[in-house]
Structure 1
Amino acid sequence: MRDRIRVAVVDDQELMRSALRMMVESQADLELVGEAADGHDALALVRGRRVDVVLMDLRMPRLDGIQATEIITRELPATRVLALTTFDLDEYAFPAIRAGASGFLLKDARAEEIVDAIRTVHAGHGVVAPSTTRRLIEHVAATPADTGAKAAAIRERLTPRELDMLRELATGDTNAEIAHRLHLSENTVKTHVGHVLSKLGLRDRVQAVVLAYESGLVKRSHPRG
C-alpha cells in the first residue's frame, strides 16, 4: 500500500477547519496530521511533523497565510502549499503564488476539486482556479521584465528545446495541448517539462509561468516567444 498523503489544515475559522478535516478524513489516500488557526501555529505544525500538503487560508490573524507560505516553502521545499481563500482577487492569488504556493483555489470549490488539487500538488504539479489562470498570466506579463540577468542564467541552464518548452509553459496550456501544437507525444512533453522544472529549481508549472515572464523570456504580445 502506498503511503498516504499527509495533510495539514490551516484556517482561523473553526467551521472551515471542521469541513476540511472531514473532507480529508473521508479519503483513503489522505491522512490529517494536524490543524492550525493562524500562521504561527502552522509553522510550528509543519516544523514538528512531516507534512506533504498544507491547506492554507490566506487571511488570518498574527501571521497571515502568504507570509506563512513563504517561510514554509523556503524552509521545507518538499512541503506543498495549497492556498484557499474566499475571494478570487488578484491581491490574494498573486502574492500567494509568488510566495511559493503550488495551488490557489476558492473555498467554495467542490470537495472533489480540493481533494484532486491535494493529489495534484503532491505529485509536483500546480493548480490554479480556472478564473485566476488567465489573469495570472496577464498580471505577470504586465510586470516590468528583469534587466536580463535572469534570462541569461536561464539560457545557460536549459537546452534550446527546454527553453522552447519554458515558453510553451508560459501559455498556461496543458501538456496535451502543447504536445498537439508541437506534434510531440504527451510523454515527451512531460519529460521536457520535468527537466525544465528540475534545472530551474521550480516546484511546478505555475512557478515556471511567473519566471518566464519576469525574466523577459516571454513577452506579453508574443506569448510563445
Structure 2
Amino acid sequence: MIRVLVVDDHTIFRSGLRKLLSDEADMRVEDEARDVGEMLTKLRGAPFEVVLLDVSMTGRSGLEAMPSLRAEFPKMPVLLLSMYPAEQYAVVALRAGASGYLTKDAEAEELIHAIREVAAGRRYLSSIAAQRLLLQTASADDDQPPHHKLSAREHQVMLMIAQGISLTDIGKKMFISVKTVSSSRTRILRKLGVESNAELVMYAIRHKIVHG
C-alpha cells in the first residue's frame, strides 16, 4: 500500500485528492497537512511512501521546504504539484531535490502513474518537461537561461512580480517582510539582466514563464 501525505493549503484540493486516490487499490491518502511545519510534524509521527507537496503554499513554499525535508527524510519520494508550467518549473523542482513534478491540471491517470513511479524510487516528469531537461543537461551552464540560476525563493518572487502582484502582497503571501521581498527583487533583476518590473514581465513572457 502506498501511503500518501498530501500537503496543500487548500482544503478542497486536499479533499479532491483523497477522493481520487480512494478508488485505487494500491494507494490511499493516509494524512493531510496545510503547511510545511505541519508536514514535517506528520512525517515524524507516521510512515509514508510518498509526499504530494504543493509548490505555492502560504508561508514557506514547497520548493523552499525541500532542504528541510531532505535533511530529515533524504529518501522520501516527493512529488511537487503546481499550477506553473512543467517545462519551466520542473528543472527547478529536481534541483531542489524533488522526485518529480506535475502540474495541477494533469489528468487523474497521469497523477496516479506519477505517484506509483516516485513510490518505486524513480523520477517522474511529463514528456515535455523531460525533453526540456534533456536539452538543458546537454547544454553548458553558460547556455542556461538566467532564470534557472535563481534560488527557489527568488523564482517564486519572480513569478509573482511577473503576475503583477505588489511587493507588499508578495510579502503577505510568503510571510516575509517587504524588505526581504525587495532584496530578492534586486537580486532577481541583477541575475536576469533587467532593470525594472516591466522588463522582468517581458523577460517572463519571452521565456514562456507566464503568458502574455
TM-score interval (norm. to shorter) = 0.5 to 0.7
Q: Considering only aligned residues, what root-mean-square deviation do their CA atoms show, in Å?
A: 1.8
Amino acid at match of 2:2: I
Distance 1:144 1:47, change over 3 A: same
Greater shift in the superposed pair: 67-76 or 113-122: 67-76
Aligned to 2:77: 80
Distance 1:61 1:140, change over 3 A: farther
Indicate whether 1:9 and 2:6 are aligned.
yes
Greater shift in the superposed pair: 18-27 or 82-91: 82-91
CA distance in 2, matches of 1:67, 1:41: 15
Which residue of 122, 127, 130 maps to 1:130?
Answer: 127
Distance 1:34 1:92, change over 3 A: same
Aligned to 2:65: 68
Aligned to 1:120: 117
Amino acid at match of 1:30: M
| Structural mapping, 1:81-96, within 5 Å | 81-89=78-86, 92-96=89-93
| Structural mapping, 1:57-206, within 5 Å | 57-89=54-86, 92-144=89-141
Amino acid at match of 1:34: D
Is residue 7–residue 32 contact of structure 2 (8 Å, CA) maintained in 1? yes
Unaligned runs of 5+ in 2: 143-212
| TM-score under structure 1 length normalisation | 0.58
Compute the displacement of 1:74 (Å).
3.0
Question: Across the two proteins, how many residue pairs are aligned to each other?
Answer: 142
Compute the displacement of 1:21 (Å).
1.1
CA distance in 1, matches of 2:133, 2:106: 19
- Match of 2:58, SS? coil
- Match of 2:141, SS? coil
CA distance in 2, matches of 1:88, 1:61: 19
Which residue of 9, 33, 38 maps to 1:36?
Answer: 33
- Match of 2:106, SS? coil
Task: List, as ranges, runs of 4+ consecutive aligned residues in structure 1 with deviation greater than 4 Å.
Answer: none
Distance 1:89 1:24, change over 3 A: closer
Is residue 103–residue 128 contact of structure 1 (8 Å, CA) maintained in 2? yes
CA distance in 1, matches of 2:50, 2:13: 17
Percent identity between the two aligned chains: 39
CA distance in 2, matches of 1:46, 1:99: 19
Compute the displacement of 1:24 (Å).
1.8
- Match of 1:27, SS? coil
